[in-house]
Amino acid sequence: MEKWHDYPGAQIASRPDAPAFSDSGGADWSYGDLDRAISALVDVLSAKGVHANDRVMILAENCCAVVAALFAASRLGACAVPINARQTGPEVNKIIAHTEPAAILCASDISADAAAHAPRLDAQLVEGAFGRMHLATPHPSKPDPVLSDVAVMLFTTGTTGTPKGVMLTHGNLLFGGRSSAELRGMTTDDVIYGVLPVTHVFGLASVVTAATCIGAPVRLDARFTAARSYAALTSGVTLFSAVPQMHALLMQHAREQGYDHLPGGTLRYTSSGAAPLDPAWKRKAEAFYGVALQNGYGLTETTAGVSATRNPIGLPDISVGRPLPQVEVRLDEAVIGGGDGVGEVLTRGPHVMKGYYRNPQATEAALHDGWFRTGDLGRHDAEGNLHIAGRCKELIIHGGFNVYPPEVEAALNDHPQVIQSAVVGRMIEGDEKVVAFVQVAPADAPDPDELRAFAAARLAGYKRPSQIVLATALPAAPTGKILKHKLLDHFADQLD
């Protein structure tokens, strides 16, 4: 049976001298270099007693070494558990207790946060063709048969609750990588900018796995900054996938430098995912990049992809497109009973996870006859495109009316001085109020009264925010996704 590491394996066998991965720490690897790095890490892990169906945790930020570590675990038959090194000690400890890893690799050369974790984990320095990493062995080998077909375990970012360990099989990743590569029309002539964290599904499936499927080189960046991303996109990059927050901050940076478009002329494909678009913002992004901004929808549990657009530039479509080949989607309208065609999105196909690790109750609640309940609300338009209306748990019921946060956010994001916004519900005196948190540039903040009037002109009365909180930053996950469940506490002192 084909395994996830067979993708780079095919490139190693046929094109060992072809460029594979480079990173912001200065590493620049061919596929032959990647092979030597993977083999060296297999030797290191084997010497420490790691076996098939063990867990190998990888505390990292984007770099060549983490790619080698992921595929080394796969070659061993172990399950890789990549964790963003920016998580706190207590957060990491919970995942260690839950997964009982036989080994923990810290990408300490590229990530100061990973280096900071190493001493408290009693990790020791190891060196080889992969560079320098720190290795800890907190638990003896304890193979778990449930992981026999699982390549990677990803922990959800926790935007709406407690993270869970999502088991993605070799088949999931092979399908996800191939689908992403075909959707983007990737070739070996492309240069992919990899700033999405590879410890999360978007970066892992749609960047690393898709690139190794085709053999396209990837420029990895340890973490997003608007300045570094702008420099990368003006120096030969052809494919750039990101979340809307990254796009918004990148365009804001360009404006501050006096540019209204991206120079360079090499970018041919750009996409957005993990959060809704709005028409005005999409127009701005396409004018800035000079290419169509494609939109997509997926979750950690669906190996990133459920649906995506294939639109020409200028098409005013803000849907997430139609399902990918072999993917099924249906809506359960009984969930909210609004009678407006909106229902919970259910999906089935080779992209759906095996389940949540050591959490049978959550698995049973999410999976029924192969259908995965996403927890997202959606509707179909006349062309069969899927539109995401928000999370089931984020639906706001104000005065007996359903309010979908993405619609309110889209209205606010139309304002030229708004970078991005997030809308949540707040229970006050027996009703749920609409509260908006708006990110603005410190030197270019709109007047609050003007912003309220701007929103009022675009929204029915029951949809209008009862309060708008202006901020220069919003709490976000390492992926850039806004952590909505933290907003009310984070800005508690500013709420009426």
CATH number at residue 405: 3.30.300.30
**124 lies in the same domain as 101:** yes
Higher-confidence residue of 398 and 271: namely: 271
**19 lies in the same domain as 166:** yes
- The pLDDT of 27-50, averaged and rounded, is 98
Q: Is residue 194 within 8 Å of 296, Cβ to Cβ?
A: no
**139 lies in the same domain as 285:** no
**73 lies in the same domain as 138:** yes
- The pLDDT of 259-284, averaged and rounded, is 84
Mean pLDDT (the chain, rounded): 91
Listed in sequence order, the residues at least 6 apart from 270 whose beta carbon sits closer than 8 Å to its beta carbon are: 239, 240, 241, 242, 247, 285, 289, 291, 292, 293, 294
Report the number of distinct structural domains present in the chain: 3
Q: Is residue 272 part of a domain?
A: yes
- Choosing from 370, 392, 414, the residue where a domain stops is 392
Dihedral angle, C-alpha 34, 39, 44, 46, nearest 10 °: 140
Q: Is residue 178 part of a domain?
A: no
**143 lies in the same domain as 22:** yes
**253 lies in the same domain as 149:** no
- Choosing from 371, 392, 413, the residue where a domain stops is 392
pLDDT the model gives residue 61: 95
pLDDT the model gives residue 330: 96
**154 lies in the same domain as 168:** yes
What SS3 class is residue 28?
A: strand
**138 lies in the same domain as 47:** yes
**pLDDT band at 33, cuts 50/70/90?**
very high
Task: Dump pLDDT digits (tens) for 85-137.
Answer: 988 888 899 899 999 999 999 999 999 999 999 999 999 999 999 999 999 99
Separation CA 111–CA 107 (nearest Å): 6
**138 lies in the same domain as 267:** no
Q: Is residue 217 part of a domain?
A: no
pLDDT the model gives residue 146: 98
**375 lies in the same domain as 457:** no
